[in-house]
Amino acid sequence: MKKLILSTAIVLGGLTAATAQDKEPTAMNEQKQTAVEAQVESRIEAAQDVDAVVETEATVATDAETAEIAAADVAQDYKEVKASEVPQTVQDAVAKDFSGATISKAYVNAQGDYKIELATADAKKATVYANAKGEWIKNELKKQ
């Protein structure tokens, strides 16, 4: 009977020691896990910051591309017309804003906008864009 009681005490002592050993590493594991979670959260925040910067740069690039496309649209899809076919309002605007300049070539697009190549008195050439009302869309030559 003494052997039975002694064996039971040894087994219970062994189980208690085994359970105690499992609990200590668990506390350490929790501390390590908390530290790892903090690192992961900081890296996630850093990645989100990088994503925000990339998104901002993409927006800026998109805005610049849109401006370039708009400028390209101004210069495309024009069909040549005779200088005499240019509306009088546009001819008057050229005479008013560019004294001494003459229309050497004229082009019109589907929206009714005009691309006008000017020859100035001092043998300079310039291209200007105007709508049918004589309002300037794009002016590559400063007013004289």
Which segment of 5-9, 51-55, 74-78 scores lowest on mean pLDDT?
74-78
Average pLDDT, the chain: 75
pLDDT, one tens digit per residue, over 106-119 is 999 988 888 988 88
The domain made up of 79-139 has a fold known as Inhibitor of vertebrate lysozyme, Ivy (3.40.1420)
**pLDDT at res. 22:** 53
**pLDDT at res. 143:** 45
Q: Could you write out the DSSP letters of every residue in the chain?
A: -HHHHHHHHHHHHHHHHHHHHHHHHHHHHHHHHHHHHHHHHHHHHHHHHHHHHHHHHHHHHHHHHHHHHHHHHHHSS-EEE-GGGS-HHHHHHHHHHSTT-EEEEEEE-TTS-EEEEEE-TTS-EEEEEE-TTS-EEEESS---
Can you give the residue ranges of every domain in the chain? Answer: 1-76, 79-139
**pLDDT at res. 144:** 41
Nearest 5°: CA angle at 30, between 27 and 35? Answer: 135
pLDDT, one tens digit per residue, over 16-65 is 766 665 555 566 666 767 777 877 787 788 777 777 766 766 666 565 56
Which amino acid is residue 65, in one-letter code? E
